[in-house]
A and B are shown apart, each in its own frame.
Chain A
């Protein structure tokens, strides 16, 4: 599968409100009223405010659902296919990216659902001790603080917030049309592959458990997916979109799906230290042991068909997903494909209590720790909150509202957005001592 993609990189040095939405030198200027009206074209949004949050601010963003990188395809289809447009194939052509601008969908989704599949509070601090837990302390964030109408179903709310975020991302990306980027990057696997280097595949396991914890591939959730090959360029162009809000630490936003650090690193070393032979997309959270084994075997079959000598696997989600991934590692190693994984660990406050992983197999001998999620954390008070005014905490204990700017203490990092570091996107690591 040959694909060739040119990414034109627009890195901004500021985002401000102004009269006309446009890129002015290095600054992205946004007409606030225009974005408000754009979001209100989505049926189901009752009210919206647009807030700008920049790196270095004493600010906290809450109720974070998905986060999107604005992308505009100049040739080769439409970015984030299957959401605002049809499911046209992507991965070829030219794509403009506003590389350090993040559109954040923020809303207190109704807690209608019983059970575990509900949107938990999700927190980003721009400065302070947890800023490095999330990549979005380093981006210019366009926060959509939304209030939704009553009476919709959960699948409808899920779609409403996604449409709002995608429309705004598309509008902001439009500002790059007819502009010259500071840099460009070429992505193709064919021209640089060199014989003699080891072939490496990337198995990318995403979460899919139902509404509020799904991942969309070309606009459809991967409920019934047997693993499927993807060209890495398809991911760069937004073939995967997140609809996963259940555990903020363990989710991978659309922004990261389209900028997966392991994928980028495999591209960087392509033809130098290894040949990157492609991505295998698999679904985690299969419903039974039988289905997990079936999925693992299919993933490894595809890795074999890519003639890989080795593979890297990352997975999204908590304990359930670890079993899917471990079975995939086991299947790979048993067929002679060397496998390494990147994952968070448990281990209690000092790394010695209880278990480190929910599941493991003897074949999993090369795991890279992305840090512990069981460290207690203290968040100092901040000057300003975006996305909402009150955190919604402790639903299982009746629920409580806490002022979003106040100092906070948590036993674990599960509510801190992206802190599980599941695709290698945060600055957390684990060290043995």
Chain B
């Protein structure tokens, strides 16, 4: 889906727990989020910090969309 969106001229970011798959498929902007059962979250964190983690995932994905890339590129969410 990410590749098709890019092909249609829509910049896309892929938040994932398995970056190797996203990179091998050729996704342009790969955001490394939480775990496979919770790609945009971290249930081990207390509620308030988990919300911050989710926010950072989304924020980084938006930042990635605004970043020009010429090859599959990894973006890593900072620890909360």
Contact = CB atoms under 8 A, between A and B. Distances in A.
Interface of A: 209, 285, 287-289, 292, 319-320, 323, 326, 355, 358-361
Interface stretch (B7-15, B20-28, B48-56): B20-28
A373 to B, nearest CB: 17
Contacts of B32: 289
A224 B19 CA distance: 23
B36 A288 contact: yes
Given A285-B36, A287-B35, A288-B35, A355 B18 contact: no
Contacts of B25: 355
Interface of B: 17-21, 24-25, 32, 34-37
A287 B24 contact: no
B24 A289 contact: no
Nearest to B23: A359
25 contacts: A209-B37, A285-B36, A287-B17, A287-B35, A287-B36, A287-B37, A288-B17, A288-B35, A288-B36, A289-B17, A289-B18, A289-B20, A319-B21, A320-B18, A320-B36, A323-B18, A323-B20, A323-B21, A355-B24, A358-B21, A359-B18, A359-B20, A359-B21, A360-B24, A361-B20
Contacts of A361: 20
B75 to A, nearest CB: 15
Given A289-B20, A320-B36, A355-B25, 20 more contacts: A285-B36, A287-B37, A288-B17, A288-B34, A288-B35, A289-B17, A289-B18, A289-B19, A289-B32, A319-B21, A320-B18, A323-B18, A323-B20, A323-B21, A326-B20, A358-B21, A359-B18, A359-B20, A359-B24, A361-B20
A91 B57 CA distance: 49
For the complex, would chain A's binding face be called helix, strand, loop or mixed by DSSP majority? loop
A360 B25 CA distance: 10
A320 B20 CA distance: 11
Nearest to B34: A288
A319 B20 CA distance: 12
Contacts of B20: 289, 323, 326, 359, 361
B14 to A, nearest CB: 14
A90 to B, nearest CB: 33
Contacts of A359: 18, 20-21, 24
A361 B23 CA distance: 11
Nearest to A116: B37
A359 B35 CA distance: 17
B73 to A, nearest CB: 17
Contacts of B18: 289, 292, 320, 323, 359
Contacts of B36: 285, 287-288, 320
The 5 closest A-B pairs by CB, nearest first: A287-B35, A288-B35, A359-B21, A287-B36, A323-B18
B53 to A, nearest CB: 14
Nearest to A357: B24
Contacts of B34: 288
A319 B21 CA distance: 9
B15 to A, nearest CB: 13
A105 to B, nearest CB: 26
Contacts of A360: 24
Nearest to B3: A354
A326 B35 CA distance: 18
Nearest to B37: A287
Contacts of A292: 18
B24 to A, nearest CB: 6
Contacts of B19: 289
A191 B66 CA distance: 66
